[in-house]
Amino acid sequence: MERVFLSSPHMSGNEQKYIQEAFDLNWIAPLGNNVDGFEKELSNYNSISHTAVLSSGTAAIHLALKLLGVEQGDTVFCSTLTFVATVNPVLYEKGTPVFIDSEPDTWNMSPDALKRAFVDAEQAGKLPKAVLVVNLYGQSAKMDEILAICDEYNVPVIEDAAESLGSEYKGQKSGTFGKFGIYSFNGNKIITTSGGGALVSNDEQAISKARFLSTQARDPALHYQHSEVGFNYRMSNIVAGIGRGQLEVLDERVAQKRAVFNRYYDAFKDITAFNFQPELEETKSNRWLTALTIDSKLTNVTPIEIIEALAEGNIEARPVWKPMHLQPLFEGSTYYSHEEGNSISDQLFENGLCLPSGSNMSVEDQDRVISIINTLLKK
């Protein structure tokens, strides 16, 4: 059977037009009309003032931390339920991550845990330099509550919207709530440039500085002069051309992802052991991945057994992210659970499952997934 991937690239058909334009103008790399156009179009789509397109979402997080002055000895409060790329840039700057649990309504950062972390930090006389909030699998975190807490302590927010481009929270685009927002255009994201990312902000000076740092921090001089450390983080003009063609169909991709979710939901809504990732009221998730938990008390089927059964059918599925506070890399790190003795992210990891959710997934391929799971449930 043909391979079904978790979330494979889905081309619009217009990417080649922008790539050809770059070749015709001989603007291959590093900058050019596609970079400028992609930045402008992303800003317009997200209704945010300024965008810098970069080599990856990780680079965007790194530059956000640099712009906020994170350095050795500083702490950064981070969502624990995420991919390691969210947190690695904290280590690049020799900062110390403090991990914040999820809450059950969105699977994202718990305002209750965040508040306790701030109370302790204030008492210790060491507030964090930033709070890094992740929007998991396309679902926005409880931004009102989180921003209120961070504003109380005057600590800036970086919104990791790597998985949530196109999602909305109370009518506002995901990634536009904090001091900085970041997007990823990795191959498996809702739109892709093969690899790439973006840093967004309403702070023009900050984004200008990000562009400067991302092009090796070259001073304005005729010769090559450098007064501070820079990075090779800028997106190329070819890659940006792919992004422009992808961005044109982003809303269509959101609709397709949501249709995939709805078909899974309709197929399994009567399975009491299955609980899909909630969609918070007044939000719209792009449903980048369809994620659910399986209540072990109600069925003998485990997430791993489903993943293995699907693999036998040449279908890719994955567990929910392993929380950062459980990773060997961060052994001994400070962690705040949602409630004392109740770690939501641990439960989501133990019981969670991500089903294949490509926007280019055929109904027939999705029926293959559903059929294999139903067969397993009947054993």
97-134 tens-digit pLDDT: 999 999 999 999 999 999 999 999 999 999 999 999 99
- The answer to whether residue 196 is domain-embedded is yes
Rounded average pLDDT over 266-273: 97
268 lies in the same domain as 314:
yes
- The answer to whether residue 263 is domain-embedded is yes
40 lies in the same domain as 141:
yes
Q: How many CB atoms lie within 10 A of CB 98?
A: 21
CA 239/CA 334 separation, integer angstroms? 39
- The answer to whether residue 9 is domain-embedded is no
Rounded average pLDDT over 67-90: 98
CA 76/CA 229 separation, integer angstroms? 22
Quote the pLDDT of residue 30: 77
For 329-375, write each residue's pLDDT tens digit.
999 999 999 999 999 999 999 999 999 999 999 999 999 999 999 99
Distances (CA, A) of 99 to 31, 131, 154, 195, 345: 37, 10, 19, 27, 11
269 lies in the same domain as 311:
yes
Label residue 350 exposed, middle or buried (CB < 10 Å: 0-12, 13-18, 19+): middle
CA 2/CA 265 separation, integer angstroms? 24
CA 343/CA 331 separation, integer angstroms? 16
264 lies in the same domain as 365:
yes
- The answer to whether residue 220 is domain-embedded is yes
Rounded average pLDDT over 297-301: 94
- The answer to whether residue 1 is domain-embedded is no
Question: Domain residues for 37?
Answer: 15-250
What domain count does the chain have? 2
Cis before 328 (ω within 30): no
| Helices 250-268, 363-378: inter-axial angle, 10-degree rounding | 30
- The answer to whether residue 3 is domain-embedded is no
Residue 140 DSSP one-character state: -
142 lies in the same domain as 156:
yes
For 187-238, write each residue's pLDDT tens digit.
999 999 999 999 999 999 999 999 999 999 999 888 999 999 999 999 999 9
- The answer to whether residue 10 is domain-embedded is no
Whether 134 and 108 have beta carbons less than 8 Å apart is answered as: yes
Query: Of 225, 250, 275, which residue constitutes the final position of a domain?
Result: 250
Query: Of 195, 215, 250, which residue constitutes the final position of a domain?
Result: 250
Which residue is listed with tokens 């947190």? Answer: 87
For 9-24, write each residue's pLDDT tens digit.
999 999 999 999 999 9
216 lies in the same domain as 76:
yes
Q: What is the mean pLDDT of the chain?
A: 97
Please give the model's pTM, rounded to 2 decimal places.
0.97
Q: Is 189 a catalytic residue?
A: yes
273 lies in the same domain as 236:
no
Written as six digits, the tokens of 206 are 């900050």
132 lies in the same domain as 265:
no
Quote the pLDDT of residue 6: 98
75 lies in the same domain as 211:
yes
Rounded average pLDDT over 279-298: 97
207 lies in the same domain as 276:
no
CATH code (residue 223): 3.40.640.10
Quote the pLDDT of residue 222: 87
User: How far does Cα 199 stand from its chain's mean position?
Assistant: 12
190 lies in the same domain as 294:
no
- Helix%, strand%, coil% for the chain, nearest 5: 40, 20, 40
Whether 8 and 188 have beta carbons less than 8 Å apart is answered as: yes
- The answer to whether residue 6 is domain-embedded is no
pLDDT at 29 over 80: no
Q: Of 168, 158, 202, which is closest to residue 57 (Cα–Cα)?
A: 158
Q: Which residue out of 189, 257, 284, 322 is catalytically annotated?
A: 189
Distances (CA, A) of 90 to 82, 180, 329: 14, 15, 13
CA 115/CA 101 separation, integer angstroms? 11
CATH code (residue 312): 3.90.1150.10
CA 320/CA 349 separation, integer angstroms? 5
169 lies in the same domain as 289:
no
Query: Of 217, 250, 283, which residue constitutes the final position of a domain?
Result: 250
Label residue 304 exposed, middle or buried (CB < 10 Å: 0-12, 13-18, 19+): exposed
Written as six digits, the tokens of 204 are 């023009």
CA 255/CA 252 separation, integer angstroms? 5
